[in-house]
């Protein structure tokens, strides 16, 4: 049996910080507290063998995008270090408020994803696995209305995830990329493709 990887006080502090930052936020189009997504991504990262830094970055991956831009990233760097901040930066697709148009941001992120280092690839792919699974689950449970949550069309969202799978493979792939591809195929089946 392998030795358990240790998660310590820094992770606890990051969880409290993430909860404070996202306390009033819900998952788009739902009453679900946003912290659930962050916990889900951190869990996926840890299940995939991620480090404490990667798990912390998973908890904080949306903080700059949703809660303060580059100033928030600087605060994360000061509190949790450069490795965490680098991963968070790699997971961020918008630094401005309001955000740029959806399709423009997603196309730019696909190109960026091709160059991700392994720690950033793990956290980014875990984020997309969690998001894509939520789409698949809601598509199965509530049908086509799931697409009303998105700025892009159903076809645009599906194309984004298909393109991300290819970009992540270019960056090195791995088990999470394989899982994302399986979930995307499930979404395709539910959509009748």
143-163: per-residue pLDDT in tens? 999 999 998 899 999 999 999
> d(Cα 62, Cα 95) in Å, to the nearest integer?
11
pTM, to two decimals:
0.96
pLDDT greater than 90 at residue 88:
yes
Mean pLDDT of 107-126: 98
Q: Which residues contact 128 (CB under 8 A, 6 or more apart)?
A: 161, 164, 180
Q: Residue 3 falls within a domain, yes or no?
A: no
Question: How many other C-beta atoms are found inside a 10 Å radius of the C-beta of residue 91?
Answer: 26
The phi and psi torsions of 33 (rounded to 5 degrees) equal -55, 135
> d(Cα 130, Cα 156) in Å, to the nearest integer?
18
Q: How many domains, in total, are found in the chain? A: 1
169-183: per-residue pLDDT in tens? 999 999 999 999 999
Q: If you compute the radius of gyration of the chain from its CA atoms, what whole number of angstroms results?
A: 16
Q: pLDDT at position 157, please?
A: 97
Q: Residue 2 falls within a domain, yes or no?
A: no
Q: Residue 138 falls within a domain, yes or no?
A: yes
Q: Residue 149 falls within a domain, yes or no?
A: yes
User: 54 vs 99, 101, 150, CA distance in Å?
Assistant: 25, 29, 27
Task: For residue 125, give its domain range.
Answer: 9-190
CATH code for position 183: 1.10.3210.10
Q: Residue 105 falls within a domain, yes or no?
A: yes
> d(Cα 164, Cα 109) in Å, to the nearest integer?
9
Q: pLDDT at position 111, please?
A: 98
Q: Residue 4 falls within a domain, yes or no?
A: no
Average pLDDT, the chain: 95
């Amino acid at each position: 049996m392998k030795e358990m990887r240790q998660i310590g006080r820094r992770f606890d502090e990051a969880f409290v910080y993430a909860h404070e930052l996202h306390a009033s936020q819900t998952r788009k189009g739902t009453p679900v507290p946003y912290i659930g997504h962050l916990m889900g991504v951190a869990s996926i990262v840890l299940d995939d063998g991620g480090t404490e830094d990667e798990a912390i970055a998973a908890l904080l991956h949306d903080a700059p995008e949703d809660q303060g831009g580059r100033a928030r990233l600087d605060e994360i760097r000061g509190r949790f270090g450069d490795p965490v901040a680098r991963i968070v930066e790699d997971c961020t697709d918008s630094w401005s408020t309001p955000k740029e148009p959806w399709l423009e941001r997603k196309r730019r992120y696909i190109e960026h994803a091709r160059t991700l280092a392994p720690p950033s690839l793990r956290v980014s792919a875990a984020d997309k696995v969690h998001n894509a699974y939520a789409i698949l689950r809601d598509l199965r449970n509530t049908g086509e209305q799931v697409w009303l949550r998105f700025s892009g069309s159903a076809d645009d969202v599906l194309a984004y995830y298909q393109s991300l799978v290819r970009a992540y493979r270019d960056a090195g792939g791995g088990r999470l990329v394989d899982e994302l591809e399986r979930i995307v195929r499930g979404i395709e089946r539910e959509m009748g493709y």
